[in-house]
Amino acid sequence: MSLDDFHLSTFLPYRLAVLSERVSKRLSVEYGRTHGLAVAEWRVLVHLLRCGAVSVRDIHNCVNLEKPRVSRAVTRLEAEGLVQKTPGAHDGRLVAISLTKKGHAALADILPVATRIEESLTHAVSPDDLKTFFDVMEAMHAVLDADPEAKPRTSLDLAQTQE
C-alpha cells in the first residue's frame, strides 16, 4: 500500500477513539451537571450498585480503572457522602466500600438519563445490526486476547462474553 493511501479518518483505532470520546463526553454533560461526577466516579458507583461492599482492588479489576484512580474516586465520593468506607472485617488491609442512601438516590437520578442516552444511540439502528455491531466488537476483543502485547481484559468484561 502506498503511504498516501492511508486515511486517518478511516483508520479503525482512530474511529473508535473519536466515537467513544464523543459518546463519553455527551454522557459526562449529564452526570457532571446533575451530580458533579467524573467518569471514574460514575463507574465506581455503578459497580457498587451491582456488587455491594467491595475493595478497591475489586473495583480496579472490574471497571477498567487504574488502582490509584479508583482510590481517588472513592475518596471524592466519600467526601460527597455517596459511598462509605468500612475497615475490612477479616482482613485489616481491605476496605469495604459501599453505597450510602444518598449514593443510591444519586444513581436512581442518573441511571434513567444514562439509559435514555444509550437508547437514543442503539435505537438508531435495527436490532440485527446492533447485534452484529456487538459481535464485531467481541471479535476484536478476541483478537486482542490472543495478542501477548495487548493488555488483558478485566474479569468482568470477559464474563460478559459468556452469556
Name residues contacting its own copies, limited to 113-142 (CB under 8 A): 114-115, 117-118, 120-122, 124-125, 129-130, 132-137, 139-142
What's the min distance (Å) between Cβ of 25 and DNA?
9
Q: Do you know the residue count of the chain?
A: 163
Q: Exactly one of 14, 66, 81, 91 binds its own copies (CB under 8 A); which one?
A: 14
Burial class (CB in 10 A: 0-12, 13-18, 19+), 94: middle
CB 141 within 8 A of CB 150: no
- The one of its own copies, DNA, none whose footprint includes residue 92, by CB under 5 to 8 A per kind, is DNA
d(CA 119, CA 18): 19
Q: Please list, in sequence order, all residues whose beta carbon lies within 8 angstroms of the beta carbon of residue 34, skipping any fewer than 6 positions away.
A: 109, 110, 113
89 binds its own copies (CB under 8 A): no
Name residues contacting its own copies, limited to 99-118 (CB under 8 A): 104, 107-108, 111-112, 114-115, 117-118
What is the binding site for DNA (CB under 7 A)? 38-40, 55-58, 60, 65-69, 71-72, 74-75, 85, 88, 91-95
Name residues contacting its own copies, limited to 34-63 (CB under 8 A): 39, 43, 46-47, 49-50, 62-63
- Taking the least distance from each CB to its own copies, the nearer of 92 and 163 is 163
> What CA–CA distances, in Å, run from 75 to 28, 32, 97, 150?
20, 17, 10, 30
